Every structure is written in structure tokens, then in C-alpha cells.
């Protein structure tokens, strides 16, 4: 049986450097990622984590591959909810490629066997995060309400 | 009604995108040729979008590309279309695809969910075209409504 996997593609009118910055600078991620800071030094072997607006660390892992401004892969384990933590380390990649005047951004998130619920959760999360990222880069403002956790 | 023809269909491809727009604007972008020509590879849609009506999509040169029936229509929330590609001989003889557009209003933002459903007899190789195309098309629709400009290379015949 295939490992559970989610793939999302979107096209954004920006430069690879700006898109890379938007994904890897926590001051930027918190503007469109419901207030979440994605923190790492972005070197192979660096620790990686997602920090919630209240300072709690909900996801941890390490940088497995990094090639700015085109590609990174991190290992990703959820820490807050026990049933999702039990899935263990998932693998999440970003790929940025030119496509005419736009960029093609591909997000891939793969869980080990038994991680179907984890992938279901991220499948409902990524489209909103990436829609807001696209709006922020193209208009200067993120989607309303995506700079903080939902009420 | 005619949806019963497709009762064994499976939703094989789903794409969700959030757009800073009213649902009415998203509906217009999906159903008016002046919009679709700007983000749907230059194509023009045509229908009165009533249940049971035919709908069609023409290439920039006017040649028929896709046609089908309006299976469900609840503006500005839900539109379900049967979808047959007429412009390519290989695709013309496949079972119809069913495309569902669901538009949910979330305050200032609309969530558009596109679902492509197919006959269980369809060879999965035919899913690839839609999986490549929809992210481009709907990213362009979002840019068009939010910034006034779609993806520049997608306003031409693809």
C-alpha cells in the first residue's frame, strides 16, 4: 500500500528569492500561516520547528535537504496531539520552479504507513496557508484573519 | 435528475483555493466568457447555466473544445457540469467527467473547491491532464480577481 501523501501546486507572481524568504523567515510566515513561525537555520541537519503564536512548539524535526531558493525537505513530527504524534516523522518538501512569468510552488507532505489522519489534517490546512501566501506576495496583504489562530 | 447517471463516479481530483472575493464574483469568473478568456487558456464558456441546459467551452479561434450538461446550478454556491472534451479524438470517446464547483463564503474570503469525478472504468492515465491544469487555471482565477491580472502565459491557447 502506498504511503499517504498530499501534493498541492500553486502559481505565484513573484521572484524565487522573495518566495524563499516568505517560506523560511518566521517574521514572514506568521503573517499568512495563522500566526505560526517556521523556525530553522536552514542548513542540512539544522533543527526545524513550528512555533504557535502563544510560544508553544507544536511540530519539530530537522532539515534533510536544502537548496535555496529552489528546494527544501524537512522531517516533521507533530508534538501537541498524541494521536498525531504517534504517526512519527513525516516528510515535507517545497519545490520552486519558474513557469513563464510566474513561479510554480509544489508542496509535498508524506506520512509513514498509518498516517492517513495526519495527511487528512494537513490536506485541509495547506490550501488556506498557500492561498494566503500567494495573496500576500501578489497584493502585499495576506488573506484576512490568517495572521492569527482562528477564534 | 441526470446526476443518477454518474452515481458510481469517484472524486479523484480535488483542488481547494481561497480567494479574497465575494461568492458572486467567483461565480461570475467561472461562468462568464469575459472572465474565462483571461485565465482559462483563452477559452470562452457559454450557457444559461440552468439545470438541464447544455454548456460549452470554445477555444480562442471559436472551435468547440468541451461541452456537457448543467447537472446542478445554485448560484453563487454550487455548479455541477458533465464535461466531455470534444477537441481531441482520443478523449471524445471517454466516459464524461463530472466537474463540481463549490463556493463557500467565509466572510471576506471565498473558498472554491473544484472536484473532478470520473467513471470507475476510466484509465487513471487520463487524470494527469486535469491534475496539471487545474492548479494553473484556478491560481490564475485567484490572481485575476485579487489583482486584476491572471497568469500572463495562461491567457493564450494551451
Q: What pLDDT digit, counting tens, does each position of B16-29 carry? A: 999 999 999 999 99
- Whether pLDDT at A25 is above 60: yes
Supply the pLDDT for residue B134. Answer: 96
> A5-27+39-136 maps to which CATH number?
3.30.530.20
Contact B20 A144 (CB under 8 A): yes
Residues 18-77 on A with a CB inside 8 Å of B are: none
Cell readout for A92 is: 515535507
Supply the pLDDT for residue A101. Answer: 83
Measured between beta carbons, the chain B residues lying within 8 angstroms of A100 are 151-154
Q: Is B60 exposed, middle or buried (0-12, 13-18, 19+ CB in 10 A)?
A: middle
CA distance A148 to chain B (A): 15
Cα–Cα distance between B108 and B143 in angstroms, integer?
Answer: 16
Cα–Cα distance between B55 and B32 in angstroms, integer?
Answer: 12
Cα–Cα distance between A124 and B13 in angstroms, integer?
Answer: 14
Size of interface A-B (CB pairs under 8 A): 61
The whole-chain average pLDDT of chain B stands at 92
Q: Which residues contact A85 (CB under 8 A, 6 or more apart)?
A: A77, A78, A79
Supply the pLDDT for residue B2. Answer: 54
Closest CB to A135: pick one of B15, B20, B140: B20
* B84 three-class SS: strand
Supply the pLDDT for residue B153. Answer: 53
Contact B151 A135 (CB under 8 A): no
Supply the pLDDT for residue A4. Answer: 95
User: What structural domains does chain B harbor?
Assistant: 2-6+15-144 (3.30.530.20)
Long-range Cβ pairs for the range B71-74 (8 Å, 24+)? B71/B1, B71/B2, B71/B3, B71/B6, B71/B98, B72/B3, B72/B100, B73/B49
Contact A11 B140 (CB under 8 A): yes
Supply the pLDDT for residue B155. Answer: 44
Residue with cell 470520473: B118
Q: Please report, for chain A, the start and end positions of each structural domain, with discontinuous segments joined by +.
A: 5-27+39-136
Supply the pLDDT for residue A1. Answer: 63
Supply the pLDDT for residue A48. Answer: 98
Closest CB to B135: pick one of A11, A13, A101: A11
Best B14, B143, B156 residue to mutate vs chain A (most A CBs within 10 Å): B143
Cell readout for A41 is: 537555520
Q: Tell if the pTM clears 0.90, that is, is over it.
A: yes
Supply the pLDDT for residue B3. Answer: 59
Digit-coded pLDDT (tens) for A77-103: 999 999 999 999 999 999 999 988 899
Q: Does residue B152 or residue B50 have the better pLDDT?
A: B50
Contact B136 A11 (CB under 8 A): yes
Supply the pLDDT for residue A94. Answer: 98
**Residues A10, A123 contacting (CB under 8 angstroms):** no
Contact B153 A99 (CB under 8 A): yes
Amino acid at each position: 500500500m502506498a504511503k499517504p501523501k498530499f501534493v498541492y501546486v500553486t502559481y505565484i507572481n513573484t521572484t524565487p528569492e522573495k518566495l524563499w524568504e516568505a517560506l523560511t523567515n518566521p517574521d514572514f510566515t506568521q503573517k499568512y500561516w495563522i500566526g505560526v513561525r517556521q523556525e530553522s537555520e536552514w542548513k542540512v541537519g539544522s533543527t526545524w520547528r513550528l512555533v504557535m503564536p502563544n510560544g508553544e512548539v507544536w511540530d519539530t524535526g530537522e532539515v534533510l535537504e536544502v537548496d535555496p531558493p529552489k528546494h527544501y525537505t524537512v522531517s516533521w513530527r507533530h508534538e501537541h496531539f498524541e494521536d498525531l504524534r504517534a504517526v512519527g516523522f513525516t516528510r515535507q518538501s517545497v519545490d520552486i520552479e519558474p513557469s513563464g512569468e510566474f513561479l510554480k510552488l509544489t508542496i509535498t507532505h508524506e506520512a509513514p504507513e498509518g498516517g492517513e489522519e495526519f495527511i487528512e489534517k494537513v490536506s485541509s490546512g495547506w490550501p488556506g496557508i498557500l492561498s494566503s501566501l500567494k495573496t500576500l506576495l501578489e497584493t502585499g496583504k495576506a488573506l484576512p484573519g490568517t495572521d492569527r489562530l482562528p477564534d | 435528475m441526470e446526476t443518477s447517471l454518474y452515481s458510481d463516479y469517484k472524486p479523484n481530483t480535488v483542488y481547494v483555493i481561497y480567494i479574497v472575493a465575494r461568492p458572486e464574483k467567483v461565480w461570475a469568473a467561472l461562468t462568464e466568457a469575459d472572465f474565462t478568456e483571461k485565465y482559462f487558456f483563452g477559452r470562452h464558456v457559454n450557457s444559461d447555466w440552468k439545470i438541464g441546459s447544455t454548456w460549452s467551452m470554445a477555444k480562442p479561434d471559436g472551435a468547440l473544445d468541451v461541452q456537457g450538461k448543467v447537472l446542478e446550478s445554485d448560484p453563487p454556491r454550487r455548479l455541477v457540469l458533465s464535461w466531455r472534451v470534444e477537441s481531441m479524438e482520443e478523449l471524445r470517446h471517454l466516459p464524461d467527467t463530472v466537474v463540481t464547483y463549490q463556493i463557500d463564503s467565509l466572510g471576506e474570503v471565498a473558498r472554491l473547491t473544484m472536484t473532478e469525478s470520473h467513471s470507475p472504468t476510466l484509465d487513471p492515465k487520463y487524470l494527469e491532464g486535469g491534475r496539471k491544469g487545474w492548479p494553473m487555471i484556478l491560481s490564475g482565477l485567484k490572481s485575476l480577481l485579487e489583482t486584476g491580472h491572471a497568469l500572463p502565459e495562461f491567457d493564450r491557447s494551451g
